[in-house]
Structure 1
Amino acid sequence: MKQPAVYMLATGKRGTLYVGVTSNLIARIWQHREHAVDGFTKRYGIDILVWYELHDSMDTAIQREKRLKRWNREWKLRLVEEANPEWRDLWPAILGQDEAATGNRDQERFPPARE
């Protein structure tokens, strides 16, 4: 999926969170899941995609990521739980392997940022 995106990874339900930005969501989440790059997510085993948001440009995605990183933990948890109350791993959905979370329904559940 070559499109700017902001995403959140977790260790599990209400676990350690990581907020990131990318221009290629599938490739970047694969890197996290495979622990292919050293850093915070590899060190703490943060590899479950629990939330993401698509953007029209990298500029808006980067702005949104910076804002989210300044949010307190409870706000981030609420954002995830509003879109993904079961804290499902959304990896199959972005690969198109999860019929319940693909297509236009993703846009309804994970709308672009209202900035």
Structure 2
Amino acid sequence: QRQREMIQNLIEREKEKNKKAKRDRRKSLEADANLKAREEIEKAAMEQQLRREKEEKEKRAKLAAEEKKKRAEDLRIKQHIEDENRRREASKRKNEAASASKNQNSVYNFQ
């Protein structure tokens, strides 16, 4: 009887030990899965942040290129206007010189 109780107690303790080991393994696996899931989430967040930064950089580069193009166009227009003004001024001086020469010839012929 006593021996039987001892064997029964040993069996019960072994069962409890197995249950606890099984529970511990499950908790360990859950903890590993949670850690892995957290790492995946963090990785995805970092990738998303890098994508956002890349998109922002590309957007800034595009805006800078558009601004540079606009400044170049404005400069080209400004230079065209300045060239046109110089041509007009030169033409005006030429016409004034021709007119003065014509007037000089008229005075010379009049005498």
Range of TM-score over shorter length: under 0.3
Q: TM-score, normalised by structure 1?
A: 0.14
Task: Choose between structure 1 and 2 for higher RCO, CA contacts under 8 A separated by at least 6 residues.
Answer: 1
Q: TM-score, normalised by structure 2?
A: 0.15
User: When you count strand as a share of all residues, which structure comes out higher?
Assistant: 1
User: When you count helix as a share of all residues, which structure comes out higher?
Assistant: 2
* Higher CA-based Rg: 2
